[in-house]
Amino acid sequence: MTYQVHGVASSGNCYKVRLALEQLNLPYAWHEVDMMHGATRTETFLKLNPNGKVPVLRIDDMTCLCESGAILCYLAEGTPLMPTDRLARAQVLQWMFFEQYSHEPNVAVARFILQFLKRADDPRLPEKTAGSYRALDVMEAHLATRTFFVGERYTVADIALYAYTHVADQANLDLSRYPAIRAWLGRVRSQPRHVEMPAVDQ
């Protein structure tokens, strides 16, 4: 069985799915979605995801899974990317919900404003920048005494948080005062079958 992924290559949320598929060596076909020209608002796309967002994982003709966090957990189940211990599994989810609530809406949205919309004077940017640094502070304190987010091993929590953190510079964020985050980024990059995220189309 080959998974069908509908995504935007330079979107961090979509990159998470691709990175997991590559690292788990699962067969997939990538369908690039022209989000910037309304392709997530077409009738065809809204049948895949009525919420109009990428990524979408098509498991079969009848079954689509949405939300990057849910897709990561689905793919990781039964693999080394997801712990088996009940508490560790919940801790993985804790960091994935942290990413979607406290990190992505700041770091990813600031990056989107700057790199996709190209609006350096957007009035939302100061608040997004402040929120990004609050999230990075929480990550730095956690990683100061740990090699990965949960259980001292690489899991989908690391994939989720790596996606936008490793391109924080594209959100005009300065990681120089985050040595633990920078060391962790290096450890994530050195995992087997790591792939890079493509640059934003200019």
Selected binder of its own copies within 100, 115, 147, 191 (CB under 8 A): 100
Nearest-angstrom CA–CA distance, 90 and 156: 12
Using CB under 8 A as the binding criterion, the count of chain residues that bind its own copies stands at 33
Structure tokens at 32: 């690039």
Instruction: Round to whole Å and give the CA distance between 133 and 40.
Output: 30
Provide the mask over 67-96, with x wherever binding to its own copies is found by CB under 8 A and - wherever it is not: xxxxx-xx--x--------xx-xxx-xx-x
Which pairing describes strands 28-32 and 63-66: parallel, antiparallel, or unpaired?
unpaired
Query: Does 138 sit near its own copies (CB under 8 A)?
Result: yes
Please state, in angstroms and rounded to a whole number, the distance separating the CA atoms of residues 117 and 34: 14
User: Judged by CB under 8 A, which stretch of 29-37, 64-72, 170-178, 180-188 contacts its own copies?
Assistant: 64-72
Distance CA 96, CA 102 (A): 10
* The residue count for the chain: 202
Instruction: Choose the stretch contacting its own copies; rule: CB under 8 A; options: 34-42, 135-143, 177-185, 187-195.
Output: 135-143
Hey, is 174 helix, strand or coil? coil
Q: Which is nearer to its own copies, 98 or 148 (CB)?
A: 98
Which residues of this chain interact with its own copies, rule CB under 8 A?
Answer: 50-51, 53, 59, 63, 65-71, 73-74, 77, 86-87, 89-91, 93-94, 96-98, 100-102, 104-105, 138, 141-142
